[in-house]
């Protein structure tokens, strides 16, 4: 992939400065996080990858209970969020006093939270971003409506000018001054050909396509935007389905800590090794050699336990 100079010089810094200046959204640079395309000219090992600073959910007040909890498999003790740094400390807590102290502070904070809240209030990653954005909206007097059914996008003169919704049993049309951001999901649960008229070559045609998207999200929201916007672009992520002892299932996304490790070998169901595990997920999944994209990768880990 060739990265254009225009894209590299896009005003991302201005956008970040606006978000941090106008509200509660805060980002930090990862200490070490190479670019997705490390072989391209201008690539760096650090300086571009951002992550949301952890957030105290108590700042949301009563609205904290409206914030969707992460999947159980991504929480410790059923309600405690951890980030990349926390994970490493938990792995090192039996060998490092610093890590032991860090983990102890997290556990004490979580214990205090559970006295009053249904889960821990120390938020990280995507949950922290949503909470920070919601805090900003509420402080600025914006209205956040939950359980809204979007019926259609309203067009005028070739542009989307608003949405027609159903809220608490009443129909209403909301008019937009600038535009409409449709972030309703639906792609992960769509039947590809019916939803967007074509099947992406990199998508496995396996019958079962597990997704992390909440069950309340359907493809109807995706088809809502098809006519005025056209077929969307996407970036898939592999998801495993774990079966618990009671027969129930848990979905888990393979995003961090499980691919780019010494001793991890990725093979497909024909036992053919493919691609570099350290690559980011889009080209990694597209190069599932030997199966023509028809079967998912299988991982074999020879990483020694410490």
Residue 99 in this model has a pLDDT that exceeds 90: yes
% of the chain with per-residue pLDDT over 70: 68
pLDDT at 79: 94
Helices (H), ranges, 24-124 = 84-92, 97-116
Q: Lowest-confidence range among 70-74, 89-93, 137-141, 198-202?
A: 198-202
pLDDT at 43: 81
pTM across the whole model: 0.77
Mean pLDDT of the chain: 78
Are the CB atoms for 40 and 8 separated by under 8 Å? no
Residue 260's φ and ψ, nearest 5 degrees, are: -85, 65
Instruction: Work out the pLDDT band at 193, boundaries 50, 70, 90.
Output: very low
Question: Which residue is associated with the tokens 């098809």?
Answer: 226
Residue 93 in this model has a pLDDT that exceeds 70: yes
Are the CB atoms for 175 and 153 separated by under 8 Å? no
**50 DSSP assignment:** E
pLDDT at 254: 74
pLDDT at 171: 96
Mean pLDDT confidence for 126-135: 95
Most confident of 138-142, 183-187, 203-207: 138-142
- Higher-confidence residue: 106 or 191? 106
Residue 264's φ and ψ, nearest 5 degrees, are: -90, 125
Q: Lowest-confidence range among 20-24, 48-52, 203-207, 232-236?
A: 203-207
Domain boundaries along the sequence of the chain? 10-140, 148-217, 239-302
Phi-psi region of 41 (alpha: psi -120 to 50; beta: other; left: phi over 0): beta
Q: Which of 177, 171, 172 is nearest to 159 (CA)?
A: 177
Instruction: Work out the pLDDT band at 203, boundaries 50, 70, 90.
Output: very low
- Higher-confidence residue: 96 or 240? 96
């Amino acid at each position: 992939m060739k990265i254009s100079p225009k894209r590299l010089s896009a005003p991302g810094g201005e956008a970040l400065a606006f978000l941090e200046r106008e509200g509660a959204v805060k980002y930090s640079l990862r200490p070490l996080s190479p670019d997705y395309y490390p072989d391209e000219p201008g690539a760096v090992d650090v300086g571009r990858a951002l992550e949301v600073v952890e957030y105290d959910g108590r700042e949301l007040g009563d609205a904290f209970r409206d914030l969707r909890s992460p999947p159980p498999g991504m929480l410790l003790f059923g309600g405690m969020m951890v980030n990349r740094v926390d994970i490493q400390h938990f792995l090192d807590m039996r060998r490092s006093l610093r890590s032991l102290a860090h983990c102890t502070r997290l556990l004490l904070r979580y214990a205090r939270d559970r006295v009053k809240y249904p889960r821990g209030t120390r938020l990280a990653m995507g949950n922290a971003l949503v909470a920070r954005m919601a805090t900003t909206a509420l402080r600025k007097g914006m209205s956040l409506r939950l359980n809204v059914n979007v019926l259609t996008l309203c067009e005028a003169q070739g542009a989307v000018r608003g949405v027609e919704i159903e809220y608490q049993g009443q129909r209403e049309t909301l008019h937009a001054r600038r535009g409409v951001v449709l972030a309703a999901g639906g792609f992960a649960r769509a039947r590809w050909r019916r939803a967007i008229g074509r099947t992406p070559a990199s998508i496995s045609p396996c019958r079962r396509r597990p997704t992390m998207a909440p069950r309340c999200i359907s493809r109807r929201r995706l088809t809502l935007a098809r006519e005025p916007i056209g077929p969307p672009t996407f970036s898939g992520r592999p998801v495993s389905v774990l079966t618990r002892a009671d027969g129930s299932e848990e979905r888990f996304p393979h995003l961090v800590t499980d691919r780019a490790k010494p001793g991890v070998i990725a093979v497909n169901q024909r036992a053919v090794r493919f691609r570099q595990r350290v690559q980011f997920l889009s080209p990694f999944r597209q190069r599932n050699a030997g199966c023509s994209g028809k079967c998912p990768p299988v991982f074999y880990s020879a990483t020694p336990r410490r």
